């Protein structure tokens, strides 16, 4: 077993592994249990290089954070994080690649960002994207995809909205309800 750790990319993408149970909606797919949602705020504890991300680095975060809201609709709000938590069964670690697919962003029009992860049996791997820069707040279809190189192990789709409130996220993360 690997020790709990947390990593995040260039202020943009986040990865963390920790010995924690799943919170929120989950399902089993190919020996993998997956949950998804929003985390209102993460605390960055360090950084490491991540050349296949737009910013070129990943943030270290607390790997034991639970999702604050289970949803696949996400408002593009500064500081908000969203993504997946995956846990594999079996006895052997799984070397995987996490790819975040999104509409074009940044000066180069990047549409995907990726990094390698090791999934340890019984340990949750938290993979997030945090809106830290204005250029990241692009509305549209987003997806988190875990592969073992050729085979898609799991894919979770999200819809990111810019300027349109998501009531459950507004209530939990900001303590407000949008006016109707």
96 domain residue, yes or no: yes
28 domain residue, yes or no: yes
**DSSP state letter for 12:** T
Grade residue 29 by pLDDT with cuts at 50, 70 and 90: very low
> For residue 132, is it left (φ>0), alpha (ψ between -120 and 50) or beta?
alpha
180 domain residue, yes or no: no
Q: What is the CATH number of the domain that holds 109?
A: 2.60.40.2390
Q: What is the pTM of this model?
A: 0.80
**Distance separating alpha carbons of residues 159 and 75, to the nearest angstrom:** 8
Q: Please write the tens of the pLDDT for every residue from 149-159.
A: 888 988 999 99
Q: Supply the range of the domain harboring residue 64.
A: 5-174
Cα–Cα nearest to 54, from 7, 115, 1: 115
Count structural domains, the chain. Answer: 1
φ, ψ of residue 135 to 5 degrees: the values are -65, -15
């Amino acid at each position: 077993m690997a020790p709990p750790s947390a990593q995040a990319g260039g202020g943009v993408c986040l990865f963390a592994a920790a010995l924690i149970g799943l919170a929120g909606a989950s399902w089993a797919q190919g020996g993998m249990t997956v949950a998804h949602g929003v985390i209102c705020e993460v605390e960055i504890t360090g950084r490491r290089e991540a050349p296949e991300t737009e910013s070129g680095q990943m943030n270290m975060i607390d790997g034991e954070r639970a999702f604050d809201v289970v949803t696949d609709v996400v408002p593009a709000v500064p500081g908000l994080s969203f993504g997946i938590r995956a846990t594999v069964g079996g006895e052997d670690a799984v070397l995987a690649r996490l790819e975040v697919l999104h509409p074009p962003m940044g000066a180069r029009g990047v549409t995907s960002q990726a990094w390698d992860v090791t999934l340890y049996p019984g340990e949750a791997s938290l993979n997030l994207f945090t809106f830290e820069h204005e250029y990241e707040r692009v509305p549209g279809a987003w997806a988190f995809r875990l592969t073992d190189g050729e085979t898609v192990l799991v894919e979770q789709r999200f819809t990111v909205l810019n300027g349109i409130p998501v009531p459950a996220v507004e209530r939990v993360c900001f303590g407000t309800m949008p006016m109707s």
